[in-house]
Amino acid sequence: MSRAEETREPRGHHQGSDQAPVASVQPAGVPSQGPVGLADTPAQKVLRARVREACAAFGDAYWRELDRQRAYPEEFVRAFSQNRLLAALIPDEYGGLGLPLSDAAIITEEINHAGGNAGTAHAQMYIMGALLRHGSPAQKRRWLPPIARGALRLQAFGVTEAAAGSDTTQIRTEAVRHGDVYVVNGEKRWTSRLQNSDLMLLLARTSASPPGDKTRGLSLFLVDLREAKGAVRAEPIRVMMNNHTNAVTIRDLVVPAEDRIGEEGRGFRYLLDGLNTERILIAAECIGDGRWFIEHARDYSKERVVFDRPIGQNQGVQFPIARAHIAVESADLMRRQASARFDAGVSCGAEANMAKLLASEASWQAANTCLDTFGGNGFAADYDVERKFRETRLYTVAPVANNLILCYVAEHVLGLPRSY
């Protein structure tokens, strides 16, 4: 007997039977619960069921048609605003659900697991992090309640520029103070959902960086796009998935000084504070995508018959699906560890970055496996595989490239010399 067989849990097998030992089977659509201490709590199981019920109203046909039209998921966002799931991280005193990040990650995971795209959800959740952590009491009272009830949308993040991608300190957009206002000029790139957002979190340079600290001199602003009056112009960038991203030109935009988040010149540090949230939420989405791909590959391989047998009976088909499943479940353990550490208020930068890398690579592995399993049908829009395939590919390069995560781990975890 092989070691693989020795570790099985027999069910309905006795000596002399012609029935082979059968391992216990995880129910379809039910994610593994992780080791003790990282499993879903009873409340999280209720939340997961609630999100699945909400997602049931927006099936594959809904997302497929949006992709065909390159349209914004207006009905989805409206529904998830009304049920306050988009306000998961907003404290209940401001009308939100006041949930920990572990719970918010369940929301983004299940949206993607259901075949959707949680971009609108994760954007609002992590973009508002700067406001939650560093906004003044007056700013929170002004902005958070209408965001929580869906009257305002904060889904646009103006950070990246053509010459400042991973090296954010190189941005050239300037905000010059004139009394009680700043006048902003510059250009941004890859600013998503601008046309569908009322507010934009904007990073701009307010002063030159002092010698030895290039992170100083950048400031964060919460821009009310409804009052921009033509000072903000968006040029859509057509990409391979339905992402609504733009090149943005800002000319003489007047921003009240009271709309600056925190201290002048410390915007980069405030930006870093929200990155762990971003990494963990993206990891959760990738895990949802990975499970979608694995379940579809599994089901199709059972149903598709070639040469008088289901293709899933062949190890050449089984093994890649099994490997993808193992990769996704392993990434989920790191995601759970990262979010647990975040909620406990302890350092989680390494775990958040590793979770994002593992989950995005696992999802991409699952996507390729699913496409291989479907063969030619995987390229047909009606099967939705090609749509999800295009969507999940983004997360190996954004919002942070996986190679940059490797640089971070090498330097900050392993103590190797800085490589860039």
CATH code of the domain in which 168 resides: 2.40.110.10
Q: How many other CB atoms are found less than 10 A from the CB of residue 407?
A: 17
Rounded CA separation 188/79 (Å):
30
Residue 50 lies in a domain: yes
Residue 391 lies in a domain: yes
Identify which of 207, 206, 194 has the alpha carbon closest to the alpha carbon of residue 257: 206
288 and 404 share one domain: yes
**Maximum Cα–Cα distance across the chain:** 90
Residue 211 lies in a domain: yes
Cβ(403)–Cβ(356) below 8 Å: no
Residue 23 lies in a domain: no
pLDDT at 5 over 50: no
How high is the pLDDT of residue 15? 38
Cβ(191)–Cβ(156) below 8 Å: yes
Tens-place pLDDT, residues 229-272: 899 999 999 999 999 999 999 999 999 999 999 999 999 999 98
Tens-place pLDDT, residues 128-158: 889 999 999 999 999 999 999 999 999 999 9
Residue 124's CATH number: 1.10.540.10
407 and 307 share one domain: yes
How high is the pLDDT of residue 210? 87
Cβ(54)–Cβ(93) below 8 Å: no
How high is the pLDDT of residue 260? 98
| Domain residue limits at 212 | 154-266
How high is the pLDDT of residue 420? 87
| 191: three-class secondary structure by DSSP | strand
